[in-house]
Amino acid sequence: MAQDVCQPAPVYSAFLSYSRQDAAIAQRVLSRLESYRLPRRLHPRTGAWNDKTRRLKQLFRDLDEMTVAPDIDSAVREAMAASAYLIVLCSPQSAKSDWVSREIEMFRAMHGDTTILTALIEGTPATAFHPALLHNVGGALMQPLAADFRPEGDGPQLARLKLVAGMAGVPLGELVRRDAQRRMRQFALAAAALLVFLGIVAALIITAQRSRQDAVQQSARAGTMSRYMLDDLRDKLKRYGSLGMLAEVNQGVMETFRGRSLAGLSDAEREQLAKLRLAIGEDAEQRGDLAGARIEIAEAGRITAARLAAAPDDPQRIFDHAQSQYYIALVDWLTNDRSGAQAAFQAYRDLAGRLVAADARNADWSMEVGYAEENLGMYALRSQLDTGTAAAHFRDALKAFQTTVRLRPNDRDAASAITDTYAWLGDTLRLRGDYVGARANRTLQRQILDSMRVADPRDRQVESEIVTNDLAMARIDAAEGQLQRALDMLDRGRTGAVAVAQSDPDNVRRAAQVRIFDLFKLRTWLAMPISMRPSAAVLAKTNGNCKDDEKRLKNTELAEFCAILAARRQGLAPPASNATPVDALSERWGIDFAKERTLTPARVG
């Protein structure tokens, strides 16, 4: 928010409001914020910053600042009037605090709602948000968007960046990119300085052993940074960021390996390099670059296979090679190599089974079994339309994920995996004609997704899955003959798909998600009597340009569905497929193209 030129510059960057029981945490948050320096080329757009130091102005923490104030209320009001922002530290303790309530209302009366920031430090959104935060100055209900300092949330680093971005008036994505680049530059400078120092020491004191020890220390520091960027930061950016931001992270980590041979890397470095290759391959697949994805994933597979061969019973190496097998199967599947995909999926299941056999109480290993069973179910369904085998695999997957939840309650990844399994079961039952069971499973999925959205409204992965749930429900409605209800659901889902796609313009899969709603809407219209359909011009516009689906969105599945619907719309014979059918159902949306080609507008269902 731009600083109002008519108002005096604030003395304090922010006023911290918190429960006295959280004083220790408040001090840590304050220290993290006050020690942060904005990266160069980022220019703050608010008055909360010192232009010379590029740090926040002093933060007001009432316990420190008001110990000698004769009139506490007056001191609070003066401090708030001189503060650019209010930061409320949210916990079960602060949610019950009358004093926190007074501070929120006083600040809101002076500055409005837009400069109130929240930091979740303990508990859950349901237990930690003070009731005063749940409505705006006009009394309307609102859902606070908190920087989540909890380990299971954003973590301290990303949470700090969220607060900094808010108080600087800069996009979070840009701040994360600049911060990551600065960290890598700082690391490079530190490494260079360390090398100079080692050179002096070697010239003066000298021993090969000392040089080797220092090199190990330097490598360990590089490994720590790589692990942070590949694990913690990457995980957060997948939820909140974009492919462009992920590419920058990958590039930053790759710099630590530039110019070094595989033979010269330590085992820990090889582990990190394999993980990096998988990350680059995963992102390439999301961009539609399957050739690039195959190269990176194959290289990762060679590294993990060699490491596993050297220590066949090492659980971490079994796990790492299992990840390679999964991505090999995925790319084989997307490039129509069904035998390769089936072999890799089964290898993944075998490796996951070895992990559970070694330690049945390990929640991570039960997750791997669940993923592997889900993959085999997907293969049986999509490739062979074997709904019985598929349903059995999906139910086994559900049991494995539920085991993880019993071993590790409130596990977000397990909850997400359970939603996926409900989705697969729902689609399987729809194809079997069990619409009641299909709807029940998709409803269970939606309930979990809605609770995840409440817990974190900015999670774009959850938003994308909610959109997919809308499409699935519309398809069940259409299969039951509830065509108007299907159209209403398609409209709702498309609105959500547009919002998700706009948040990540580089992601062609999200753009394709918008397009599929148009095509299913056209399909539903063509199932209606002619008198109930829109005009021919509206139908044609909704049908769109089928060649553009393949060229711009790089999606042959969309292009083929579009062409079939175009022929059906015009009363023509359906076009032949451009490729030999590999599966009974299409890759992403599970469309039975053979069946679609037999349908006329009067028989679509």
Per-residue model confidence (pLDDT) at position 137? 75
Per-residue model confidence (pLDDT) at position 250? 57
How far is it between the farthest Cα atoms of the chain?
Answer: 93
Give the least confident one: 62-71, 206-215, 261-270. Answer: 206-215
pLDDT tens track for 378-415: 999 999 899 999 999 999 999 999 999 999 998 888 99
CA 163-275-321 angle, 5° bins: 140
- In this prediction, what percent of the chain has a pLDDT beyond 70? 82
Distance CA 230, CA 253 (A): 8
The band of 4, judged by pLDDT with boundaries at 50, 70 and 90, is: very low
Does the pLDDT value for residue 68 go beyond 50?
A: no
Tell me 37's DSSP state: B
pLDDT tens track for 424-436: 999 999 999 999 9
Contacts 24+ apart (CB under 8 A), 328-332: 328/297, 328/298, 328/301, 329/375, 330/285, 331/281, 331/285, 331/290, 331/293, 331/294, 331/297
pLDDT tens track for 243-273: 455 555 556 556 666 677 777 888 888 888 8
Confidence (pTM): 0.55
Does the pLDDT value for residue 476 go beyond 70?
A: yes
Per-residue model confidence (pLDDT) at position 504? 80
Per-residue model confidence (pLDDT) at position 192? 52
The band of 182, judged by pLDDT with boundaries at 50, 70 and 90, is: low
Per-residue model confidence (pLDDT) at position 171? 82
The band of 198, judged by pLDDT with boundaries at 50, 70 and 90, is: very low
pLDDT tens track for 339-350: 899 999 999 999
Per-residue model confidence (pLDDT) at position 436? 97
Per-residue model confidence (pLDDT) at position 230? 45
Distance CA 372, CA 368 (A): 6
In contact, 36 and 56? CB cutoff 8 Å: yes
pLDDT tens track for 326-375: 889 988 888 888 889 999 999 999 999 999 999 999 999 999 999 999 99
pLDDT tens track for 539-554: 999 999 998 888 888 8
Question: What count of Cα atoms within 13 Å lies in the side-chain half-sphere of residue 578?
Answer: 12
In contact, 426 and 445? CB cutoff 8 Å: yes
